[in-house]
Structure 1
Amino acid sequence: METKDDDGSKKKARSFDFMEMFKEARQTAMDRNQGKYEEDINTIEDDIGPSPQTAPKSSKEDPGSSKSCQEVPNEEGRDDEDMIGPPLPPGMTKDSKTSKEEDLIGPPLPPGTSRSKDEDDDEDDEDDEPEETLDKKIPSSHEISLDHGFKAVSALALDPSGARLVTGGHDFIVKFWDFAGMDQSLQSFRQIKPCESHHLKQLQYSATGEMILIVAANSRAKVVDRDGFEKLECAKGDPYIVDMASTKGHNAMLNGGSWNPKMKEEFMTCSNDGTVRLWDVNTEGKKHKNCIKPKSQQGRKLVPTACAYSNDGRWVAAACQDGSIQIWDHNKNFVNVAMLNRGCHMNGTDTSCLCFSYDGQCLASRGGDDTLKLWDVRNFKKPLKVRENLISYYSVTDCIFSPNDRMVLTGTSIKKQGDGKLLFLDRESLDTVSEIAVADTSVVRCLWHPKLNQIVIGCGDGKARLFYDPDKSHRGAMLCMVKQPRKSKQVLALASQQIITPYALPMFKETKSTSTKKFEEKVRKDPVKSKRPDLPMTGPGEGGRLGVKGATLAQYVAQSLVKRKPDKYENDPRAAILRHAKEAAENPFWIDPAYKKTQPEKLFQEEEKEEEEDPDEPVWKKQKV
């Protein structure tokens, strides 16, 4: 490129050789690093003596020359120019056969020193330590009790971060517990009654922890935020429509629900109307997203009693009243089932819970026939293991997997006497690894949070019990147990003292406190402010108030009846009327003056004298009266 100066002469632009500039900068860095390493080596030689590897090379080669650095080969036979970073100092080459210090953890030892034999023996002992058994991994050394109410706790939920716990029960109340905000008094910070007089069946946080799904014994599920304020209420279906897919929502009691672990806006509910419905939060509950209708072997409607998503969100599972478990593929339409087993549990019983393992290969089912079964999703024909005689009297009894996927947890119920138990079963054999006895109550719900490593159970006596271990657990209940209860602040009332200085100047004299005597006398005279009662009346009365005769109408009537004079014509109404006959005849007022000119003379029938009867006259001639 050429440019012109002011005088018109041509001038060429300056050109730069970038490759040559990079080469010079790299050579300068290598020379600087080589000089630094040579100084370090000389310092070490002065302390412990010259090294046999570095002495010959330092005498023959110039440490400042770049040629000597480039001729030192590395481990792979390449020149140092191909290496990334500064070159190794002389005598510090990597030799995997002779050096054992490279496999050790920690900073390298100085030249001439070696690791002691005792340290190597300690590392071997650590590798030979046996693995911790399953029962030692259960965090159950400490226990706290959260008082929810007087009825069974039938729903539990912990948010993904483990900061808040939500409990719901048969007393229709949902309580919110914040571990960071509680102290040793263990009081909830909020309680709501979301579904009126319907007991709670399911509580679950969404995958992000922003929303809570509330499933009660009614037909409309609700979604609230973290603080309990309602965000969504599902629509109710028309009970007069036969086809359940044509209705907007459920029209019978709900049995369970669950959030989709991968899609934060989707959740699922199952109901006694024989459907499993998928909902979307963004549609504001106006209509379901998908409707799944389980069918019996005869093609009839089935009632699903429990439902669950797999951890990857692919499978949608539902347990029905005929004892079957039906699984659909979420990536396909929900017309045909992907996996089906009709004989999972006893026909006519309510399966209370379905739970997928963390690896997604195993499904646990807690049946109403007092059994717990494990199923392989890849081979869904026969159960892997079966555990019997696990008594359950609640329709929401849980079964869950431990965070390490090696144990299965479930609870047992009691009828009148005994202790409810939380059982820890080995996943491979369903043998009892450990158990926690809860005195005089049933274990309904159980939850093992993987982040906190703490276990929460809901009991039939209205309490939620939380188990933890200070050595194995993190945060959660350990935050509130170290806080002392807050003391109520006592307000001290100090009477203000007034100093009276009679001869002080007005500008320095304190104002006297105004006397309340005159003010009270003035208020007393005001009938409105003093609320003076009505004064007694001396006259007959006015405005609905009665005077002397009595304060109430009943008293007035009673006194009037007592003081009334007796009437002699009370029992003879004809005489009472005829007593006015003389006055009416002398002074006609109503009828006679109107007909005075046209009224004819009055003719009244005269009374005939009765003739004496002839005794000789025959009877048939006598006049009949």
Structure 2
Amino acid sequence: MQRGKISFGKIQLNVNKAPAEPKSNETEREDAKVSTEAGGNGGGFKKMDKQQMIRQIEDVAEDLESQHLKEVMGISGFGRKAAKVFDINEQIEKARVTRPGMDKKKEEPKPEDDVKEGEEEEEVIGPLPPAVTTDKEKTTKEASKDEDSDDDDDSSDEDSDDEQSLAKRIPYTHEVQMQHGSRAVLALAGDPSGARLVSGSIDYDMCFWDFAGMDSGMRSFRQLQPCENHPIRSLQYSVTGDMILVISGNAQAKVLDRDGFEKLECCKGDQYISDMSRTKGHVAQLTCGCWHPFNREQFLTAALDGTLRIWQGLKSKEQVQVIKTRAQGGLRTNAASCNFNRDATLIAAGCVDGSIQTWDTRKMFVNTTHCVRDAHQKGSEITSIVFSYMGQQLATRSNDETMKLWDLRQFKQPLHTWTNLFSRYDTTDCCFSPDDRLLVTGESLPKGQAEANLYFYSTKSYEEVQRIPVSNAHVVKTLWHPKLNQLFVSCGNGTIKCYYDEQRSIRGAKLCVVKTHRKRQPMEMVGVSQIITPHALPLFRQEKSRTSRKRMEKARMDPVKSQRPDLPITSGQGGRVASSGGTLSSYVIRNLGLSKRVDDDQDPREAILKYAKDAAENPYWIAPAYKQTQPKAIFSEKLPADEPATKKPKTEADK
């Protein structure tokens, strides 16, 4: 049974009337002739022409402009006669196709029922709604999609089954070791993108590791000492990964760029000012520091002067805010660790007196937002304080061999306390897994134990999920990178271990393992004799063109060209008479008085008698004048050594 069509206005159903059949061209022409004969003049003929033209225009408009709309919405035509008409028959056919389970009685209703339905639906305005699929059809479609799915979906289902166990979430199937040095590695930080890793140790060195450039040898590409003779206590990348905050044993924090060049050094405060809020910076050793979660130019530092300081900007070297940590009686206490939460609305500090103090960044930093005085044992540093990724939980690690989990909504008592976690270093930390279901920490090597372990605890059931033996040295830092899904652990013997899973981890150390380490071939050195050309000798070498000023300075230094006069005579060495003595008399005696030097071991009598014969034969000075009057000289003869001297007789004069 055929139904009528619904216009855009009221929905009308012409059940009794059959739809008019379209007239052919011949019948239209006959009607036109009849109308002209009935009219008796040409006016009727013109009227029929206008109607025919209107029909043709409507047909063209239907064919060209509204063909797509007819297919989609069932619109039968555009024009002044019928605007936006919808065919009910087409909608019913679609409903029959989409509802194959309908009864035959419903498919072929009686005419009386149609009239009643039409009377009830006269108030409805607008087109019919599209056919709605039933729940059975949805289930059948989903079943067909599941059957047509690829192997990737099957693998994802297997992964979801594996993730039901927390132990299988830990990426520790493979292990890679990196050697930083020989001393304990106190600081460890990863790039947010997962491309690089930096480490700092107690021997003042800072190493840069690039996973894309390393091979299986796992060697750092740069090593430097940013803070001279101060151990590196903490390192952290900024949120954009282009800057590194360096916290050392010095009172001044430093900011380095990605390649290790210094961009900022915080100023040092005046240690003679008692009020720490009046100083421009820290006056004691730094203990901890961290970047703002989403502000790339703001960072937080803590020191042993009892303050936390917020620094803003790389140009200004003064702090923005000073936060003072107070003990029970209002006295000063030092903060051993500090951190921001994920949305930077809270600043938390773990103090030496065992208290946990937090401040709201949207308010003044005068009073604390939360303060738990007996959080840990008094006198033992809270070495790490970490917020969860969801921001509702807080984990603290202390040197009192405990680790505690806190809920910020109920901050008076910890959710759970894990004990027997020995720690020697004041930088031993803990961290959350990327899904906040696990809490990871390491221990220092206890006495009598072979290896130090890495512990994994559930944040819901508080049970130990896994224990991994790391090394025969202390475990200091632990980093679970959320993007790489890899674990980096620093040890007390200078090694850094990386744990990863082949299936769940991406990039990072996996890029380095596949690259084979190639040793450099030794180069053979061949000795080559030196060849000197004549023009290479200084005698034939042409002087380089120099300015007149330099030529004059060089000539001035030459004593011959400058005709330097003799230096003045000075006493001692260095003068012109230094070789002959320091006085004038020594000079005269050496050069004029003695032509030949007399040896000291020569007998003076023999030296004089050596010239006696010559003086007698050829007298020159005195002998010629007294030659005639001078008596003959008689010299005493030398007696032999054995013969005693004759005794001289006494004369009367002697008596």
With normalisation by structure 1, the TM-score equals: 0.65
**1:244, distance to aligned residue in structure 2 (A):** 0.4
Secondary structure of 2:66's counterpart equals: helix
Counterparts of residues 484-563 of structure 1 (less than 5 Å): 484-486=516-518, 488=520, 519=533, 523=537
The verdict on how the C-alpha distance between 1:483 and 1:526 changes in structure 2, with shifts beyond 3 A counting, is: same
* Contact 1:70/1:79 (<8 A) preserved: no
Q: For 1:304, which of 335, 348, 354 is the aligned residue?
A: 335
The verdict on how the C-alpha distance between 1:458 and 1:99 changes in structure 2, with shifts beyond 3 A counting, is: closer
User: Match of 2:416?
Assistant: 385
CA distance, structure 1, for counterparts of residue 507 and residue 159 of structure 2: 30
**Within the alignment, does 1:102 sit opposite 2:135 as a pair?**
no
User: Match of 1:182?
Assistant: 214
The verdict on how the C-alpha distance between 1:200 and 1:95 changes in structure 2, with shifts beyond 3 A counting, is: same
Secondary structure of 2:477's counterpart equals: strand
What whole-Å deviation, never above 9, does each CA across 1:569-601 have from its counterpart, x for those lacking one? xxxxxxxxxxxxxxxxxxxxxxxxxxxxxxxxx
What whole-Å deviation, never above 9, does each CA across 1:392-440 have from its counterpart, x for those lacking one? 0000001111112111111111255521111111223433211111232
The verdict on how the C-alpha distance between 1:274 and 1:567 changes in structure 2, with shifts beyond 3 A counting, is: farther
Q: For 2:301, which of 262, 269, 285 is the aligned residue?
A: 269
Which amino acid in the other structure matches residue 341 of structure 1? V
* Contact 2:485/2:506 (<8 A) preserved: yes
Q: Which shows bigger deviation, 260-269 or 23-32?
A: 23-32
The verdict on how the C-alpha distance between 1:316 and 1:66 changes in structure 2, with shifts beyond 3 A counting, is: same
* Contact 1:153/1:463 (<8 A) preserved: yes
The verdict on how the C-alpha distance between 1:473 and 1:303 changes in structure 2, with shifts beyond 3 A counting, is: same
Q: Which shows bigger deviation, 454-463 or 402-411?
A: 402-411
User: Match of 1:166?
Assistant: 198
Which amino acid in the other structure matches residue 337 of structure 2? A
User: Match of 2:172?
Assistant: 140
The verdict on how the C-alpha distance between 1:229 and 1:98 changes in structure 2, with shifts beyond 3 A counting, is: closer
Counterparts of residues 34-49 of structure 1 (less than 5 Å): none
Question: Structure 2, unaligned stretches of length 5 or more?
Answer: 1-57, 75-85, 100-120, 544-565, 568-577, 582-586, 591-596, 603-655
**1:157, distance to aligned residue in structure 2 (A):** 0.5
User: Match of 1:151?
Assistant: 183
Secondary structure of 1:383's counterpart equals: coil
**Within the alignment, does 1:410 sit opposite 2:449 as a pair?**
no
User: Match of 1:216?
Assistant: 248
The verdict on how the C-alpha distance between 1:443 and 1:524 changes in structure 2, with shifts beyond 3 A counting, is: same
CA RMSD, aligned part only? 4.2
The verdict on how the C-alpha distance between 1:83 and 1:160 changes in structure 2, with shifts beyond 3 A counting, is: farther
User: Match of 1:69?
Assistant: 90
CA distance, structure 2, for counterparts of residue 22 and residue 302 of structure 1: 87
* Contact 1:71/1:79 (<8 A) preserved: no
User: Match of 1:463?
Assistant: 495
**1:456, distance to aligned residue in structure 2 (A):** 0.1
**1:26, distance to aligned residue in structure 2 (A):** 6.6
Secondary structure of 1:337's counterpart equals: coil
Counterparts of residues 339-418 of structure 1 (less than 5 Å): 339-414=370-445, 417-418=448-449
**Within the alignment, does 1:205 sit opposite 2:226 as a pair?**
no
CA distance, structure 2, for counterparts of residue 108 and residue 255 of structure 1: 59
Counterparts of residues 602-621 of structure 1 (less than 5 Å): none
The verdict on how the C-alpha distance between 1:66 and 1:381 changes in structure 2, with shifts beyond 3 A counting, is: closer
Secondary structure of 2:333's counterpart equals: coil
Which amino acid in the other structure matches residue 243 of structure 1? D
What whole-Å deviation, never above 9, does each CA across 1:453-505 have from its counterpart, x for those lacking one? 100011000011100111111110000111122454788999xxxxxxxxxxx
**1:130, distance to aligned residue in structure 2 (A):** 7.5
CA distance, structure 2, for counterparts of residue 375 and residue 34 of structure 1: 61
Which amino acid in the other structure matches residue 464 of structure 1? I
What whole-Å deviation, never above 9, does each CA across 1:81-125 have from its counterpart, x for those lacking one? 6678xxx9xxxx84434664223363999xxxxx9xxx9xx99x9
Q: For 1:426, which of 458, 461, 466 is the aligned residue?
A: 458
**1:136, distance to aligned residue in structure 2 (A):** 1.3
Question: Structure 1, unaligned stretches of length 5 or more?
Answer: 1-18, 36-64, 110-114, 495-514, 530-541, 544-553, 569-625
Q: For 1:473, which of 483, 497, 505 is the aligned residue?
A: 505
Which amino acid in the other structure matches residue 239 of structure 2? A
Q: For 2:322, which of 288, 291, 296 is the aligned residue?
A: 291
* Contact 2:163/2:169 (<8 A) preserved: no
CA distance, structure 2, for counterparts of residue 79 and residue 136 of structure 1: 60
CA distance, structure 2, for counterparts of residue 161 and residue 272 of structure 1: 33
CA distance, structure 2, for counterparts of residue 427 and residue 277 of structure 1: 32
Counterparts of residues 207-246 of structure 1 (less than 5 Å): 207-246=239-278
What whole-Å deviation, never above 9, does each CA across 1:227-269 have from its counterpart, x for those lacking one? 1111111111000111100001001000000111132221100
Q: For 1:450, which of 475, 482, 486 is the aligned residue?
A: 482
The verdict on how the C-alpha distance between 1:462 and 1:517 changes in structure 2, with shifts beyond 3 A counting, is: closer
User: Match of 2:358?
Assistant: 327
The verdict on how the C-alpha distance between 1:290 and 1:487 changes in structure 2, with shifts beyond 3 A counting, is: same
Counterparts of residues 83-102 of structure 1 (less than 5 Å): 94-97=133-136, 100-102=139-141
Bigger radius of gyration, 1 or 2?
Answer: 2
The verdict on how the C-alpha distance between 1:105 and 1:441 changes in structure 2, with shifts beyond 3 A counting, is: farther
Secondary structure of 1:136's counterpart equals: helix
Secondary structure of 1:379's counterpart equals: coil
The verdict on how the C-alpha distance between 1:104 and 1:389 changes in structure 2, with shifts beyond 3 A counting, is: same
What whole-Å deviation, never above 9, does each CA across 1:314-336 have from its counterpart, x for those lacking one? 11001111111100011111000
**1:555, distance to aligned residue in structure 2 (A):** 12
Q: For 1:28, which of 67, 71, 86 is the aligned residue?
A: 67
CA distance, structure 1, for counterparts of residue 345 and residue 401 of structure 2: 29
CA distance, structure 2, for counterparts of residue 270 and residue 198 of structure 1: 16
**1:289, distance to aligned residue in structure 2 (A):** 0.8
The verdict on how the C-alpha distance between 1:241 and 1:526 changes in structure 2, with shifts beyond 3 A counting, is: same
What whole-Å deviation, never above 9, does each CA across 1:16-48 have from its counterpart, x for those lacking one? xxx99998767301556799xxxxxxxxxxxxx
CA distance, structure 1, for counterparts of residue 484 and residue 442 of structure 2: 21
With normalisation by structure 2, the TM-score equals: 0.62
CA distance, structure 1, for counterparts of residue 318 and residue 59 of structure 2: 72
What whole-Å deviation, never above 9, does each CA across 1:68-93 have from its counterpart, x for those lacking one? 43565658999996678xxx9xxxx8
**1:281, distance to aligned residue in structure 2 (A):** 2.4
Which amino acid in the other structure matches residue 519 of structure 1? T
User: Match of 1:8?
Assistant: none
Which amino acid in the other structure matches residue 442 of structure 2? G
User: Match of 2:621?
Assistant: none
Secondary structure of 1:435's counterpart equals: strand
CA distance, structure 2, for counterparts of residue 80 and residue 493 of structure 1: 96
* Contact 2:190/2:237 (<8 A) preserved: yes
* Contact 1:73/1:80 (<8 A) preserved: no
* Contact 2:216/2:517 (<8 A) preserved: yes
Secondary structure of 2:533's counterpart equals: helix
Which amino acid in the other structure matches residue 321 of structure 1? V
**1:525, distance to aligned residue in structure 2 (A):** 7.1
Which amino acid in the other structure matches residue 385 of structure 2? L
Which amino acid in the other structure matches residue 315 of structure 1? L
**Within the alignment, does 1:257 sit opposite 2:278 as a pair?**
no
